[in-house]
Amino acid sequence: MPELPEVETIARGLDTRVAGDTVESVWIGSRKQPLKSPAGTIAATLEGKRIVRVHRAGKHIVFDLEGESRASQTQLSRTRVSQKKKGKRKREDRRQARHAASLRTSDVQTAQWIVHLGMTGRLVVCDPATEIAKQTHLIAKLASGRELRFIDPRMFGKLSVHAGGFDPGGVEPLEVSEEQFVALFRGRKTPIKSALLNQKLLRGVGNIYADESLFRAGIRPRRRAAAISRQQLGKLHRAVREVLREAIALGGSSISDYVDSDGEEGFFQLQHRVYGREGEPCPVCGTAIQRVVLAGRSSHYCEKCQK
């Protein structure tokens, strides 16, 4: 599953490519699994909207949208037709005209389109002539002539729309202060690796970057958070931020299906010190990397460097 660095890389690429463009029409496939909001609501929210900005919130890609709602556009169209009529409907025409005028201001809306990529989801910007992949679930036709497509073979990704202010919960790891970080984890009886993966505490950190951060901080994944000193938690705070920033700079880790919005792989997997390296020598001391399972997730560590 794409984690914070991968989602950040994709969001930055999409912001560069589609911000300022307008969604002219939306096609949504028949599969219900990827839809967290009803298909009609997603289409009505996106169509006619300008993409103001694309950014990340946790592991979600957020499209900030702005424009007149489709409902108000329909009402305005009907009003223009009715205004051409005369006779008994003149009074009604004036009423509808006043209502349309109010819609023109009040229904210039902001909204957000939220995309969670799940395990295998991808957002690609392409030419309309590009062959449509079998697992394509949404196609947004843009005013620039391009198409924005959501493709997800395993259908664990989710599409939804919100009025604004989307908040996935948890604290942003690239913004959290050391004091806040320590307060999040100090006193918790769960293993520190499980606590790092708790999206209600710290959003966006997943299996790869939790392992890599714990290695750099010298902390074993199975240690109870409550048993870790404040000094060690401070070191972990710095390690998490360092690892995430390095991974973003290298375009994320291309494990399994991950590619960015340009179809390019990331390179941080070449810098992994413990993740996915069971049995290989530790890059610091040469001890074989160990693997354990915590809450159904693989965790990798060096038994000599991590205590």
Q: Annotated catalytic residue: which of 17, 59, 122, 235? A: 59
For residue 114, what are the β-bridge partners? 62, 160
Q: With helix as H, strand as E and coil as C, how does 40-93 read? A: HHHHHHHCCCEEEEEEEECCEEEEEEEEECHHHHHHHHHHHHHCCCCHHHHHHH
For residue 50, what are the β-bridge partners? 22, 66
Residue 182 · residue 234 · CB < 8 Å: yes
- Is 179 annotated in the active site? no
Q: How many helices (H) and strands (E) does the chain have?
A: 8, 10
- Is 235 annotated in the active site? no
Q: Is 26 helix (H, G, I), strand (E, B) or coil?
A: strand
Kindly provide the b/e burial profile for residues 73-109, where b requires at least 16 CB atoms within 10 angstroms of the residue's own CB.
bebbeebeebeeeeeeeeeebeebeeebeebeeebeb
- Is 297 annotated in the active site? yes
d(CA 99, CA 82): 13
Q: Annotated catalytic residue: which of 36, 141, 222, 297? A: 297
- Is 2 annotated in the active site? yes
Query: For the chain, what is the radius of gyration of the CA atoms?
Result: 24
Q: Is 246 helix (H, G, I), strand (E, B) or coil?
A: helix
Q: Annotated catalytic residue: which of 2, 5, 34, 221? A: 2
- The catalytic site residues sit at 2-3, 59, 297
